[in-house]
A and B are shown apart, each in its own frame.
Chain A
Amino acid sequence: MRIGVFVCHCGSNIAGTVDVERVAREALKLPGVVFSDTNKYTCSAPGQESVCSAIKENALDRVVIASCSPRMHEATFRKMIAEKTDLNPYMLEIANIREQCSWVHKDREQGTRKACDLVAMAVAKVSCDRELFTTNLPVERRALVIGGGIAGIQAALDIADAGFPVTLVERESSIGGKMVMLDKTFPTMDCSACICTPKMSEAAENPNIEIKSLTEVESVSGYIGSFDVTLREKAKYVDYDVCTGCGLCETKCPTKKIPSEFNQGLSTRTAIYKPFPQAVPSKPTIDAEHCKKLQSGKCGVCEKVCPTGAIRYDDVDRVTTQRYGAIVVASGYELIDWTGLYGEYGAGRYPDVITGLQFERIVNASGPTEGHILRPSDRTEPKTTVIVKCVGSRDPNKGVSYCSRACCMYAAKHAHQYLDKVPDGTCYVFYMDVRCAGKGYDEFYMRTLQDGAIYVRGRVSKIYPEGDGLVCMGEDTLSGEIVRVKADMVVLETAMVPSRGSDVLASKLNVQRGPEGFFTEAHPKLRPVETNTAGVYLAGVAQGPKDIPDTVAQAGAVASKVIGLFARGQIESNPMLSKVDVSRCSGCRACVDVCPYGALGLVQANLRENSRKVTRTVCQVNEGLCQGCGACSVACRSGALDLLGFSDEGIMQEVEMLCQ
């Protein structure tokens, strides 16, 4: 064994508190170490060069680099060894003498002694290292995008434009998500539908995109490059291959009093319906729950009037399984149900207390009031409007503790729109803080103030009816006075929460969620769109509250990750996996029970034992599924399972070296 130890100064980062020359000298006394050296910056080009030439000149077969955290540069040094030497890149251990030594200990003697110990432990471990080899796993170049909001649409378009097929799954009957419900977008005030619907039809027309509406993910198995995903496409009762989307059925359907989800309950729709005129797919579905024919068998009007005979009352759910190389989660958000949380705001009893999204529909030219600002109760124009921010957000007692990020801006937008359409109106905005970080955002807020919006700093503590209006009571915390505002309409800017079913989706995908329920990215700064499950990416509010520009940017970033994966066409497997010694395995199944990835299974194996052929049950590792956690190697009592790269022997040697 010929081990080389390289101790890094890291400028003065390490050398300032650790006597690196002494660490290098001490290392030479360790068993197996034939060479040691120090380096100003080991990770720099000249540093790497000197390590590589030392490896060659001294015929080293194992390397210990004492430097910063392995989380920082282990990959760098592995790559260096693989590319510039003949050594196997896994014959390397890093001793972390910076983050866990020189930066946290001030005493030079103590730091140096600890560094010597850490190097000794790394030397002990490297002596047990074995050559490991990666294999290349093929990547199915097809992406699944879960969620057809703007995040999903943008990601699907970008991936499809690179030439790869995409399945865009949406559980509602049309893609478009929340953005298509909005009237205008801040701060430029472009019409939301005018910029969103072209994207929707672009997605519909793109030959690489298959849109599956009314579809949910049933189950997911496999791993990066080859996820087998089962999708359930709910019965639509309309044959989309035959339907032309003429809309005759909608006009004739006798069941007309169903609250429209798209218009947030402010208008009604029929039982066979398209949620909105520009829906994609641009074809209707039957809402089975409200359809007379499907509920009681009596009606059948739509079938009679349909000129192409597209109605299928006997339609059933279709379950299909397809292989995908990557999965994009763009499952979006919904608004917190404030009615159950804020009794003091009337808990939904007062019709003129509406949510921001309802306001968007009211102010929209194609909405239920055709763009005239009329309050729901009596369809009159409200002369005084109160906007309440942070309903649910930043309220850990009743709602959620986080900031929903977009509300400050859309509250300003609502104030602006209201004052624009009701020039003689008065608008109050109750706020906790005004957070308008973003390009052109603060300017927009200032403009709203100039429009005449009256900002009152404080939470609204109570809303109660008085006459034909409402009174909002709250404290102006800047003046310390109790404020009572008589309002004709109140708009609550409610918190964004993860869309329903996120928990189930997370467990199907084996992706973690944070305490607030949004999906967790692999690293908050450096890997913001990846998850800890390789091959699963996050776009949009599914990852955390954000506005449209951020969502679109993130969707583009996800697409570039997916395209990068597909362009490589294969992935290098992690060779630090579990390994089974079948001669010691009893087939007791303990490992199978604890494996979170289903990577272990029992198989019948033909073995030769005591010069006899025997067939018995032993465990087998699926190298595609194994992630190298090592839980099985501890569950295995006999020690038949071991984890390559963190072997029992390596860990024990480290322990024993430390104890010496």
Chain B
Amino acid sequence: MSVTSDAVAAEARSRAEGAASPEGGAGSPWQPKILAFCCNWCTYAGADLAGLNRMNYPADIRLLRVPCSGRVNPQHVLRALQDGCDGVLVCGCHPGDCHYVSGNYYAKRRMMVFKRLLEYSGLRPGRFQVRWISGSEAGKFRDTVVSVTEQISQMGPMASDAPSLEALAGADALLEAARGAGDAR
């Protein structure tokens, strides 16, 4: 199989254009799609409390309930970012407060390394965020949603991150330079 650099660029462009005219139909502005993985015991409860207190926050966020932040597989995150979410948030209990003793400590290490790997490979910082929000921190939940939504809105749709043709052309030279004396032949 072969993918030419032109084909990649064209694909990226077309996706970017597609995102500029969203399904909402002509006239309706683009709205970010943000997925938040929330642990059942803390952040999901905090979100419920925000509701109970009738706090107001942007409607672009969708919560996905998981038992623990340690349940969130980086594969879920990457899939969401690839398939059309403009931002992904993973939330759990404060370190030390995990309902399952240590799940968020493992999540913390995993996500710290994975987030750096994603951003290293070109994800714009801010697209993927992790926050610890307890069940009583309805205000922090609201503030987090507001700030994440704001950041993602400013960044624009994920597809707009597709590199320009110039950047892609420049990347070819860099890639050649980075190749080792490998088996490529």
Contact = CB atoms under 8 A, between A and B. Distances in A.
Interface string A69-106: 11110000000000000000000000010111101111
Nearest to B66: A646
Interface string A91-128: 00000101111011111001101100110010000000
Interface in B76-110: 76, 79-80, 83-85, 97, 99-103, 106, 110
A96 B63 contact: yes
Contacts of A648: 73, 75-76
B35 interface: yes
Interface stretch (A157-165, A293-301, A624-632): A624-632
Contact of B59 (A111, A510, A631): A111
Interface residues of B, number: 44
Interface stretch (B12-20, B49-57, B119-127, B168-176): B49-57
Interface string A547-565: 0000000000000000000
B67 A630 contact: yes
Contacts of B71: 629-631, 633-634, 643, 646
Contact of B102 (A121, A532, A631): A631
Contacts of A72: 48
B70 A630 contact: yes
B79 A71 contact: no
Contacts of A113: 59
Interface stretch (B39-47, B147-155, B159-167): B39-47
Interface in A639-660: 643, 646, 648, 651-652, 654-656, 658-660
B103 A631 contact: yes
A656 B83 contact: yes
Most buried by B among A72, A106, A630, A633: A630
Contact of B101 (A98, A101, A596, A656): A596
B103 A651 contact: no
A71 B48 contact: yes
B84 A98 contact: no
Contacts of B63: 96, 100
A105 B59 contact: yes
Interface string B111-136: 00000000000000000000000000
A635 B47 contact: no
B76 A98 contact: no
B48 A651 contact: no
B80 A99 contact: no
Nearest to A660: B84
A501 to B, nearest CB: 19
A594 interface: yes
A71 B62 contact: no
B110 A634 contact: yes
Given A532-B99, A629-B67, A104 B54 contact: yes
Most buried by B among A70, A110, A117, A629: A629
A619 B169 CA distance: 49
A103 B54 contact: yes
Given A69-B51, A100-B48, A630-B66, A655 B83 contact: yes
A655 B76 CA distance: 8
Most buried by B among A99, A634, A659: A634
Given A100-B63, A121-B64, A628-B67, A659 B101 contact: no
B33 interface: yes
A659 B84 contact: yes
B56 A596 contact: no
A117 B110 CA distance: 29
A658 B66 contact: no
A512 interface: yes
A635 B84 CA distance: 26
Contacts of A659: 33, 80, 83-85
Given A110-B59, A633-B71, A635-B106, A104 B80 contact: no
Contacts of B100: 596, 627, 629, 631
Nearest to B94: A515
A109 B38 CA distance: 25
Most buried by A among B72, B84, B101, B142: B101
A110 B79 CA distance: 25
Interface string A160-190: 0000000000000000000000000000000
A651 B84 contact: no
Given A71-B45, A655-B80, A656-B83, A104 B67 contact: no
Contacts of B83: 655-656, 659
Contacts of A594: 70, 102, 106
Nearest to A106: B56
A627 B64 CA distance: 20
A634 B85 contact: no
A658 B73 contact: no
A631 B70 contact: yes
B35 A70 contact: no
Contact of B97 (A71, A107, A512, A628): A512
Contacts of B70: 594, 629-631, 634
A15 to B, nearest CB: 15
A69 B38 CA distance: 13
Interface of A: 69-72, 96, 98-101, 103-107, 110-111, 113-114, 117-118, 121, 510, 512, 532, 576, 594, 596-597, 627-631, 633-635, 643, 646, 648, 651-652, 654-656, 658-660
23 contacts: A69-B44, A70-B65, A71-B40, A71-B48, A99-B48, A100-B51, A104-B51, A107-B59, A111-B59, A594-B106, A631-B100, A631-B102, A634-B70, A634-B74, A634-B110, A635-B106, A648-B73, A655-B79, A655-B80, A655-B85, A658-B62, A659-B80, A659-B85
| 9 pairs of A and B residues whose beta carbons are closest in the complex | A99-B51, A630-B71, A629-B100, A659-B84, A659-B83, A596-B101, A631-B70, A103-B51, A110-B59
Given A100-B63, A104-B57, A104-B59, 9 more contacts: A105-B56, A106-B56, A634-B70, A643-B67, A651-B66, A655-B85, A658-B33, A659-B85, A660-B84
Interface of B: 33, 35, 40-41, 44-45, 47-48, 50-52, 54-57, 59, 62-68, 70-76, 79-80, 83-85, 97, 99-103, 106, 110, 142
